[in-house]
Structure 1
Amino acid sequence: MTGLTAMHRRRPLRHRLIALMLAVVTTVLLITVVASMTLVFRILSGERDQRLDAALAGGSGYTDVTLQIVDVAGRTRAILQTRSRGPAVPATEAAAAAVRAGHPVTASGPDGAWRLSARPRPDGTWLLAAQPIGGEGRLHDRLAVIWCGTVLVILLITAGLTRHLIGYGLRPLTAVAREATRIHAGDLTRRLPAGTADEIGQLAAALNGMLDRVQAALHERQQADERLRRFVDDAGHELRTPVTAIRGWADLYERGAVPDIEVSTAMRRIRQETERVGSLVDQLLQLASLDQPAAGRVGPDDRRNVDLAEIVRDAVLDARAVDPDRPITTDLPRTGTAPVCGDAMALHQVVANLLANIRAHTPPGTPARLHVQHQVAGGDRIVLRVSDDGPGVPAEMRDKVFDRFFRADPARAHRGSTGAGLGLSIVAAIVADHGGDIRAEPGDGFTVRISLPAARPASTR
């Protein structure tokens, strides 16, 4: 919380950018002013030293230079030339400093600052050339004032232009922030403006993609929560009926309300309902296992190439033994031409559940058909179609037949059917676990189409 509070207390980005720009411009201007003034006065000082050296060498025409002869202590012995204005000669202390230095120096005295240069004479005295530099100090002060005013004006202009340009440049970011605030308020349907190709547009596009994924994940989670809620409700409803029947028969038997001749009937009904509960629990456990990858079932590395046509043949033989009066026709390719990589027992359960679904939801004697083919167009797939001539499923309910605990239209339910509505859900889960897809096709009766990836030959695996 401390970090977030500090972040919110920071000044706006535009203010920080303006302050940064002003700091940069101020630094550059100060460096420029200092460098330029240093260079100017260094040039002036060099020219003045040249004038002093020329005057010492006997040059004429330097009327602004004072020439005098001094001793080692700087005391004046003779004045050869004085300036027409200002102080005539420098102070003794300034002259002595020039004599001791042996090169041009700047010295201060009661009458102001001087630039002095001395040269020794054969008689032991020194020829001193001096020039007052008080005017340079005044020039320095005036230039400093001018530069300060110029820097201030430049900074004001820079601040105004920077504020305008940054405001113009940050308009897309401001729009993004405004939309982000609305999205933060809960409106996940809004999207950030991403119409530009610059960094802000790229950021907005990336955030829009993230929002799409977040919204899709939330929607999927809501659907999953809704499916889980319905699943728990339906499972409880399915379990309540047989448990209530078992409890009822047990209470009657405990109270002695079951005649001796009816005890076998009570035990038979309790056993039937117990088997029904056990079957439902087994189906629920199987679905839970299929929902968890590698949860105790055959994994992808343990699967082998199996012939789907052979699996269909075995399942049809079992179905004919259970319901010999039902005509079941098959259209299967020759053995070995419909290979899929998977669990043979699970795939057998797929076909068995589809045939059991036909027995449970169609009248006795209703024909059933199974067709297997190897399709190369659109991908190397093995396609299984299982169809019947029963009452079928309404078109608006066709996409829901593979939902858990789905109940078809009563017209399709066969008398005596006590299924929990999990058979087709298990089929869909096994098919998805094998990388296939399943759907109910339109047409007369009810047709299920299953498409599984064809297995590669063993030599290429």
Structure 2
Amino acid sequence: MPTLSGETRKDGRSWLNPSTWHLRTRLVLVAMALLVAICGAVGLFSYASMDSFLTQQLDKQLGQASHLSNEAGRPQLGNPSGRPDPLEGRGQGVGTLIARISNGQVSSAGLLASDATRDSLSPGDEKALADLRHDGNPVDRTLSTGSYRLVAVEAPYGDVIVTGLPLAAKQNTLTSLVWTMVVVSLAGLVLIGLAGTVLIRRTMKPLEQLSEVATQVSRLPLDAGEVALAVRVPPSNAHPGTEVGSVGHALNLMLDNVSKALEARQESETKVRQFVADASHELRTPLTAIRGYTELMRMTENFTPDGRKSLARVQSQSERMTTLVEDLLLLARLDEGQPLKLADVDLTQLVVETVSDEKVMAPDRVWQLELPEEPVVVRGDASQLHQVLANLLSNARKHTVPGTKVVTAVMRSADGSAVVTVTDNGAGIPPEFVDRVFARFARADAARTSPVGSGSSVAAAGAAATEGTSGLGLSIVQSIVEAHGGSVEVTSRPGRTEFAFRLPAGGPSS
């Protein structure tokens, strides 16, 4: 899941970027946010309603207490100068605050205690009571003894009687209500969140299956070869009556279309390969005849110097054409997956022999060997592995300048596979051409225009097309190595280009 620190994971998701969250996570969070808003609105409404209800009840009680206070403070008949203490009146509840204000001063004030005695007020409390408006409207005030609901009423006999009831009971009730709603809301949110997560996960399961199907298809090698595109969305998730089912149905239709296109492509490729194989095979006979008649004419006829030059040109071009036809025929056979003539092959000895042949053809290069003490033996087709080495070394001979050092190394890796590398210190491969270096007939622009020995590296030479090259050398290398169950790769930078092919220890898999 996204990290709390906001760091971006390898899959691109970040806690600080909601757009990268899973859809189910966003749905759960949105549902929880709506529930929190609803609970908050219900809580505020309930709190306001309860506060209004309790205030109305308290004001009703306060009105009754104020009436009793006014009656208790009324002067007695026959004694108009006497002023009874309102606190001595009966019927008042514990905690009731009563004060008499005469001529703007508090003449008597106190609280009714639980033991029916009177508790006095502080001077600050008396001043707060004296400042009340005498309009009979209840107000809330905070005194030294707590919060009170107060009302000041001017009595018919001229005094002002202040009556108050404590707000503690109301506040305790509201506090209990708040805590009850908070606890109930949190418990409900947790339960709804867990249940919602389970339900949303189950609802989103079909989408995850669609994603798995798309992921499986994305990992299939669709670029070449015969592809069996058998992956489909299950029928339960491909019913067009629902949104997810419509997507699954559309995905299945797309996969069916892609499968048919791949079958058509494979059929077309098969026809092309068959044509190339047949054409190459048929061309071998006339090319052999051309070469034979050329040799016969050279031995039996007298030509002028220009005639002999032209005849030599015909012979060289026929030999080049023969080499191209043989390469095409070999690629066609490899594409058809014809079985290899497997035997134990000593790569060490094979490298020594192939490099020795290249030394004779290009003594102006520096040829070096790096061989292990023990022979490296693999299971493979000796003639084809010889062609792999010959193609790589031939590229080094044809497309590097005199004096270039070419190092051929053989080693055994930790997993038991055999590794052969051909490294030169030439100019290197153009970066934009590295990815296409093993493609058939691929040729770098520099190689087309540069003559042999102009500084091209081994890699550029492998796909280059100077006279005598066809752009098939590295394609043949890759096809032969892969037919042996191995792999080939290239790394290049100015001053160092290396081809490395790896062959498994147990030979090609059956």
Q: Same fold (TM over 0.5)?
A: no
Q: TM-score, normalised by structure 2?
A: 0.40
Instruction: Give the TM-score normalised by structure 1.
Output: 0.44
